[in-house]
Amino acid sequence: MHVDHNILCIDDDAEDLDILKSALEDAGKVYRIESAHNGEEAITKLKEMQLKNELPRLIILDVNMPKMDGKQTLKAIKSHQRFKAIPVIVFSTASKEGVIDIYSEYGAEYIPKPVQ
């Protein structure tokens, strides 16, 4: 099976990850979806993907996570030479005002998570 794109979803909520994966699978293209439960795991996964020459075409990032929150994760991604060009979508229940500095400073887009 041909994979159109790799996508990395970073979220500490397993249910939210399942919803994202399901939505992407329903989008009509074939994606290989990688997941990470916090920022530290995401950076490690990105380095592993880089070694395989399989960097994601998109990163979907939650804000509120343990160990390394979304802002710290986004800052780490955008400060890395090989990762900084990867588009990032901030997908969070945090209010738009609460994350405005994240997506404006680092060029990420913001999409609010549905409450239900």
Predicted structure pTM score:
0.88
H helices of 26-111, in order, are: 39-51, 70-79, 96-106
Sign of CA dihedral 20, 109, 69, 53: positive
Q: Give the distance, in angstroms, between the CA of residue 80 and the centroid of all CA atoms in the same chain.
A: 15
Do 67 and 42 meet the contact criterion of CB atoms below 8 Å apart?
no
| Band (115; pLDDT cuts 50, 70, 90) | low
Do 70 and 42 meet the contact criterion of CB atoms below 8 Å apart?
no
- CATH for 12: 3.40.50.2300
pLDDT of residue 86: 95
Instruction: Give the C-alpha separation, 56 to 110, whole Å.
Output: 18
- Structural domain boundaries enclosing 91: 5-112
| Tens digits of residue pLDDT in 56-91 | 999 999 988 899 988 899 999 999 999 999 999 988
- Which tokens belong to 39? 């920022």
> How many structural domains compose the chain?
1
Between residues 94 and 11, the one the model is more confident about: 11
| Tens digits of residue pLDDT in 5-63 | 889 999 998 888 888 888 877 777 767 889 999 999 999 999 999 999 999 999 999 98
